[in-house]
Amino acid sequence: MNRLPSSWHTDRLHVADGAVEDVLQLMHIFNACSPVGKWDPTFKIYPEEEFSGLVAKSMADGVGNGRFQLQTIRHNHQPVGYFHCYHHHPHPNILLVSMFVFHPDHQKGGYGTELVAGLAQQARTASHQAIWLEVFLKNWPALRFWIKSGFTTIIDMDGAPQHDATAHASIVVAKSL
């Protein structure tokens, strides 16, 4: 099954498959984004075991993990973000990004835009025809970022049946490659 290369570069970033030694840094990066939790319910504090499990799942051999991949994003050899994705899911030739995180100190510097451009190039090389991802509608900064990055086709939507302060709604958006 075609996957992203285990290591690749953009102009300023180095991207490589996550490793066991990355777990604490990945957890730190994710937890630094926890204030987004009021907009996106996936951002809450998770234990170290959660991150260890994601890295182990990505590193596992065999058919069971063939679709899942976690990659760490580094700038000047320091982890600044990560993403994980599913290859050929939910349809053939689709790359579904299931998490995309940059440490707040590295947001707004053009790193995300640079990474998405590189990811699109790598996904195209791996025979993907589109990238899909879910974004929560209350997460205005993420919604703005993804739309500016070309994710303008709405694939699906989901939302709470009643509107209240804790209700959430999301859309799955796509960028054709």
Residue 146: the pLDDT is: 97
Q: DSSP string of 16-82?
A: EE--GGGHHHHHHHHHHTGGGGGT-TT-S---HHHHHHHHHHHH--SGGGTTEEEEEEEETTEEEEE
Rounded CA separation 102/116 (Å): 12
Establish whether the linkage from the previous residue to 90 is cis, with ω within 30° of 0. yes
Residue 64: the pLDDT is: 53
- Is there a domain that residue 71 lies in? yes
- Is there a domain that residue 147 lies in? yes
Strand partners, 171: 135, 157
Residues of the chain where predicted confidence (pLDDT) is lower than 50: none
CB 98 within 8 A of CB 71: no
**Residue 88 domain boundaries:** 7-176
- Is there a domain that residue 58 lies in? yes
Span 92-119, pLDDT tens digits = 999 999 999 999 999 989 999 999 999 9
What is the domain-level CATH number for residue 153? 3.40.630.30
- Is there a domain that residue 1 lies in? no
Kindly state the tokens that stand for 12.
């300023």
Residue 56: the pLDDT is: 87
- Is there a domain that residue 2 lies in? no
Closest CA to 14 of 23, 27, 5: 5
Rounded CA separation 74/82 (Å): 8
Span 135-151, pLDDT tens digits = 999 999 999 999 999 99
pTM to 2 decimals?
Answer: 0.92
Residue 62: the pLDDT is: 52
Count how many domains the chain has. 1
- Is there a domain that residue 85 lies in? yes
CB 8 within 8 A of CB 15: yes
User: Burial of 105 by CB count in 10 Å (0-12 exposed, 13-18 middle, 19+ buried)?
Assistant: exposed
Rounded CA separation 130/88 (Å): 10
CB 10 within 8 A of CB 118: yes
Rounded CA separation 83/18 (Å): 9
